[in-house]
Structure 1
Amino acid sequence: MKAIRLHAYHERPRVEDVADPAVHGPYDVLVDIGGAGLCRTDLHIVEGQWADRSKVPLPYTLGHENAGWIRQVGSAVEHLQPGDTVILHPLVTCGFCRACRAGDDVHCEASVFPGINADGGMAQVLRTHARSVVKLPDQTQPADVAALADAGLTAYHAVKKAVPLLYPGTTCVVMGAGGLGHIGIQCLRALTATRIVVLDPSEEALALTRQWGADETVRVDGKHVERVLELTEGKGAQVVLDFVGERGAERDSWAVTRSAGSHFVIGYGGTIEVPTIDVISTERNVIGNLVGSYNELAELMALTANGQVRLHTCTYPLDAVNDALDDLVAGRLRGRGILVPDRLG
């Protein structure tokens, strides 16, 4: 089959032929990939930012946002059939540790993360585990929802954690209206009555946010922090969701978080440097966010099914992965890039 393989950090990944995966265990599932999302994490992987954390042997197959159709199941799998349309929770989890038993499977003690520390889904077929599979309505097109498996799930996870803080009359600042941010805005509108203020350097991106639920937009132009403070009577927002996490957004996010407010870090790549006196004197919180749980993915797909969340996408054939990466780096990509492999015979 065809797969996108990374052979060395700081080098472009390439499409090559690899052996087809096979079912080994009773709960293994093979999925014909119908859409594999392109994430900024994939760019950071190529840049080597994950090398010390994932310790994955190279070469390996990228891709941690995956949806498609069941191809084959192991002998113990009874709830899935070949041909079922599915989206995949990004982690393969054990089901037995304390975190898994509490429904907090993202912190599974024995998890494997395809596309991060194991072969991923930028390929024609992916092997995963039955625990990772969320069944979808038959009419769902995998390419339309694939990036919800990580980008959407991460955004939903952060928003859900913030919901108790966002009572009517509050303000939530959203940093970034791109692949993560546009989903976060929709989740905020679906789950809260907060006022949503969106920041982004692109007027084009900001123009789209009104249809997703934004109440106010602020262009990142050097005066954006002042503008947000004006909109919040000099106090800042109760919650700031930073979907960028680099290039100064992490600094600006802290600056527009009010006293006793919460700065949710979702995007990454930069560094947060906060004097400890600022933390204790204002009781502001910095909250980290990883990907969400299996149950949260099922909840997000329910919002998608009833039209409250819609993924904005641009599709590419599998062999155009580097064109997609170039568009992502250059800021030409609106929403999420989705790689669509040819179906394996």
Structure 2
Amino acid sequence: MIAARLHNYHEALKVEEIDEPKIVGPYDVIVRIGAAGLCRTDLHIQEGQWAEKSGVALPYVPGHENAGWIHEVGSGVTNVEVGDTVIVHPFISCGLCRPCRKGDDMHCVNGEFPGIGRDGGFAQFLHTSARSVIKLDPSLHPTDIAALADAGLTAIHAVKKAIPVLGAGTKAVVIGAGGLGHIGIQCLKAYTPTEIIVIDPSEQALELARETGADHTVKVDGSQRELVRELTDGMGADAIIDFVGEKGAIEDGVEMVMDGGFYYVIGYGENINVPTIDIISREISFIGNLVGTYVDLQDLMTLTAQGKVKLHTSQYPLDAINDAMADLDNGRLQGRGILVPA
């Protein structure tokens, strides 16, 4: 099969022919990839930020936002059949450990992460498990929903955590209206009555934010902190939902959250450098978010079917992977980049 593989950190991916994955166990599933989402995490992988955490051996195939059609199943698989349209939860969990029993898939003690810790979906076929696939209506095409497997899943996971603090009369600041942010805005609209303020340096991204439900948009141009303060009556926001996590976003967010507020960290790339006395005296809560659960993905698919969440995408053929990554890195993508195998 054709796949895009990372051979060395800080180098471009190579599109090449490799062996197709095979069924090994009774609950294995092979998915024929119809579309794979491009994530900022893929840039961080290329930069080597995940090298020690994932323990992956190079070369390998990135790609953790995948959708397609069931190509082959193991002898014990009963929830899907060959030909079914599916979206793939990005994590392979065992179902037996304590976190899995709690429904906390992302912390499975025996889990694997295709696209980060082993071969992923920047290819024609993906090896995963029956527990990881959600059967969809065949009217849904993978190119329309693939990136919801992580971008959407991470967004809804963070928003669901924030529901208890975002009741009527509250204000939430969304940092970043790109691939994750524009989904997060829609999830906030679906789940909460909060007033949504979106900040981003791109006017194009802010336009997308307005289209997807933002109540206010603020351009990052040096005046964003003051403008958010005005929009929050000088108090700051009840919640910051940060889909960027670098390039000045954290410093902005800390200044924009109210005392006693909540800061939901989704984007990453830099450190949170806040004196502990400030965290205590202002009583700020920082909450990390790692993708989401199987049920979160099911809920997201329901919202999508109801028309409450729509993914905005830019499509690339798989052999244009490095062009797509450059566009993402340089802020030229609107919405989410989608790679389509030949």
Determine if the alignment matches structure 1 residue 130 to structure 2 residue 130. yes
Alignment of 1:18-167 (within 5 A): 18-167=18-167
CA distance in 1, matches of 2:151, 2:211: 19
CA apart distance, 1:132: 0.2
CA apart distance, 1:297: 0.3
Q: What is the match of residue 198 of structure 1?
A: 198
CA distance in 2, matches of 1:187, 1:320: 31
CA apart distance, 1:302: 0.4
Q: What is the match of residue 231 of structure 1?
A: 231
Alignment of 1:302-317 (within 5 A): 302-317=302-317
CA apart distance, 1:233: 1.2
SS of residue in 2 equivalent to 1:189: helix
Alignment of 1:206-285 (within 5 A): 206-285=206-285
CA distance in 2, matches of 1:147, 1:224: 29
SS of residue in 2 equivalent to 1:71: strand
CA distance in 2, matches of 1:234, 1:275: 22
CA distance in 2, matches of 1:78, 1:62: 28
Q: What is the match of residue 288 of structure 1?
A: 288
CA distance in 2, matches of 1:230, 1:78: 56
CA apart distance, 1:326: 1.1
CA RMSD of aligned residues (A): 0.6
CA distance in 2, matches of 1:49, 1:127: 24
CA distance in 2, matches of 1:287, 1:78: 37
CA apart distance, 1:282: 1.4
Tell me the amino acid that sits aligned with residue 196 of structure 2.
Answer: I
CA distance in 2, matches of 1:240, 1:330: 24
TM score, norm. by length of structure 2: 0.99
CA distance in 1, matches of 2:329, 2:103: 35
CA distance in 1, matches of 2:30, 2:322: 26
SS of residue in 2 equivalent to 1:286: strand
CA distance in 2, matches of 1:293, 1:330: 30
Structure 2 contact 177–206 (Cα < 8 Å) conserved: yes
SS of residue in 2 equivalent to 1:199: strand
Q: What is the match of residue 14 of structure 2?
A: 14
CA apart distance, 1:207: 1.4
Deviation digits for residues 76-114 of structure 1 (CA, Å, limit 9, x no counterpart): 111211110000000011110001011111110010000
CA apart distance, 1:255: 0.7
CA distance in 1, matches of 2:168, 2:311: 26
CA distance in 2, matches of 1:107, 1:292: 10
Tell me the amino acid that sits aligned with residue 224 of structure 2.
Answer: H
Tell me the amino acid that sits aligned with residue 281 of structure 1.
Answer: S
CA apart distance, 1:271: 1.1
CA distance in 2, matches of 1:242, 1:79: 36
CA apart distance, 1:211: 1.7
CA distance in 1, matches of 2:211, 2:197: 13
CA distance in 1, matches of 2:79, 2:329: 40
List structure 1 runs of 4+ shifted beyond 6 angstroms: none
CA distance in 1, matches of 2:185, 2:36: 22
CA distance in 2, matches of 1:218, 1:256: 12
Please list every run of 5 or more consecutive structure 1 residues that lacks an aligned counterpart in the other structure.
Answer: none
CA distance in 1, matches of 2:304, 2:322: 29
Deviation digits for residues 41-82 of structure 1 (CA, Å, limit 9, x no counterpart): 000100111111111000001100000000011001112111
**Identity of counterpart residues, as a percentage?**
62
CA apart distance, 1:185: 0.2
Deviation digits for residues 210-247 of structure 1 (CA, Å, limit 9, x no counterpart): 22110000000011001100111111000000000000
How many pairs are equivalent?
342
CA distance in 2, matches of 1:116, 1:326: 19
SS of residue in 2 equivalent to 1:322: helix
CA apart distance, 1:164: 0.6
Structure 2 contact 204–334 (Cα < 8 Å) conserved: no
CA apart distance, 1:305: 0.7
Tell me the amino acid that sits aligned with residue 33 of structure 2.
Answer: I
CA apart distance, 1:312: 0.4
CA distance in 2, matches of 1:315, 1:330: 16
CA apart distance, 1:205: 1.2
Deviation digits for residues 117-158 of structure 1 (CA, Å, limit 9, x no counterpart): 000011000010000001111110001100100111001000
